[in-house]
Chains A and B, each alone.
Chain A
Amino acid sequence: MRRGRAIGLLIAAVLFLALALQPQLFAPLLALLNDPGQQIIYDRQPLAMLVLWHVAVVAAAETAAVITAVALGILVTRNRGGDLMTLARTISNLGQTFPPIAVLAVTVPIVGFGFEPTFIALYAYGLLPVFENTVAGLRGLPPATLEAARGMGMSKPAILRQVELPLAAPVILAGIRISTIINIGTATIGSTVGAKGLGEVIIAGLQAGNQAFIAQGAILVALLAIIVDGAFRLFER
Chain B
Amino acid sequence: MIEVEGLTKRFGATTAVDDVSFRVEDGEVLALVGTSGCGKSTTLRMLNRLIDPTEGTVRIDGRDIMQVPLEELRLGIGYVIQGVGLFPHWTVARNIATVPRLMRWDRARIDARVRELLELFQLDPAEFGDKYPAQLSGGQQQRVGVARAMAAEPSVLLMDEPFGALDPVTRAHLQDEFEAIQRRLGTTVILVTHDMDEAFKLADRIAVMDTGRILQIGRSELLLREPQEGFVRQFVGLDDRALRILSLHGVAEIATPHKVEGWEVLDGAVVDQASGRRILPLAPSDTLREAASRIIWEGADSLPLVEAGMLVGAVRAEDVWRVGRRA
Instruction: Give chain B nearest CB distance to A19 CB in angstroms.
Output: 40
Q: Which B residues, 207 to 237, have Cβ-Cβ distances below 8 Å to chain A?
A: none
A144 near B99 with CB under 8 A, answer no
Neighbouring B residues of A158 by C-beta, 8 Å: 102
B322: interface (CB < 8 Å)? no
Neighbouring A residues of B81 by C-beta, 8 Å: 144, 147-148, 151
Partner of A145, one of B71, B74, B85: B85
Neighbouring B residues of A163 by C-beta, 8 Å: 87, 89
Q: Whole-angstrom distance between the alpha carbons of A133 and B112 in the complex?
A: 40
Neighbouring B residues of A167 by C-beta, 8 Å: 88-89
A8: interface (CB < 8 Å)? no
A152 near B74 with CB under 8 A, answer yes
B88 near A147 with CB under 8 A, answer no
Q: Which residue of A lies closest to B84 (CB)?
A: A144
- Most chain A CB within 10 A, of B73, B74, B148, is at B74
Neighbouring B residues of A144 by C-beta, 8 Å: 81-85
Neighbouring B residues of A155 by C-beta, 8 Å: 71
Q: Whole-angstrom distance between the alpha carbons of A152 and B88 in the complex?
A: 15
Neighbouring B residues of A153 by C-beta, 8 Å: 70-75, 99, 102
Partner of A151, one of B72, B79, B89: B79
B98: interface (CB < 8 Å)? yes
Q: Which residue of B lies closest to A155 (CB)?
A: B71
Neighbouring B residues of A154 by C-beta, 8 Å: 71, 98, 102
Q: Whole-angstrom distance between the alpha carbons of A142 and B134 in the complex?
A: 13
Contact with A along B220-259 (1 / 0, CB 8 A): 0000000000000000000000000000000000000000
Q: Which A residues, 134 to 154, have Cβ-Cβ distances below 8 Å to chain B?
A: 142, 144-154
A166: interface (CB < 8 Å)? yes
B50 near A147 with CB under 8 A, answer yes
A150 near B50 with CB under 8 A, answer yes
Instruction: Give chain A nearest CB distance to B65 CB in angstroms.
Output: 13
B102 near A166 with CB under 8 A, answer no
Q: Which A residues, 113 to 168, have Cβ-Cβ distances below 8 Å to chain B?
A: 142, 144-155, 158, 163, 166-167
Partner of A150, one of B74, B86, B148: B74
Q: Whole-angstrom distance between the alpha carbons of A167 and B133 in the complex?
A: 14
Q: Whole-angstrom distance between the alpha carbons of A165 and B145 in the complex?
A: 22
B87 near A148 with CB under 8 A, answer yes
B193: interface (CB < 8 Å)? no
Q: Whole-angstrom distance between the alpha carbons of A163 and B102 in the complex?
A: 14
Q: Whole-angstrom distance between the alpha carbons of A146 and B70 in the complex?
A: 16
Neighbouring A residues of B85 by C-beta, 8 Å: 142, 144-148
4 shortest interchain CB distances as A-B pairs: A144-B85, A153-B74, A148-B85, A153-B75
Q: A145-B87, A145-B88, A153-B71 are in contact. List 13 more A-B contacts (CB 8 A).
A: A142-B88, A145-B85, A147-B85, A148-B85, A151-B50, A152-B79, A152-B98, A152-B99, A153-B73, A153-B74, A153-B75, A154-B102, A155-B71
- 9 A-B pairs within 8 Å (CB atoms) are namely A145-B88, A150-B50, A151-B50, A152-B74, A152-B102, A152-B148, A153-B70, A153-B102, A163-B89
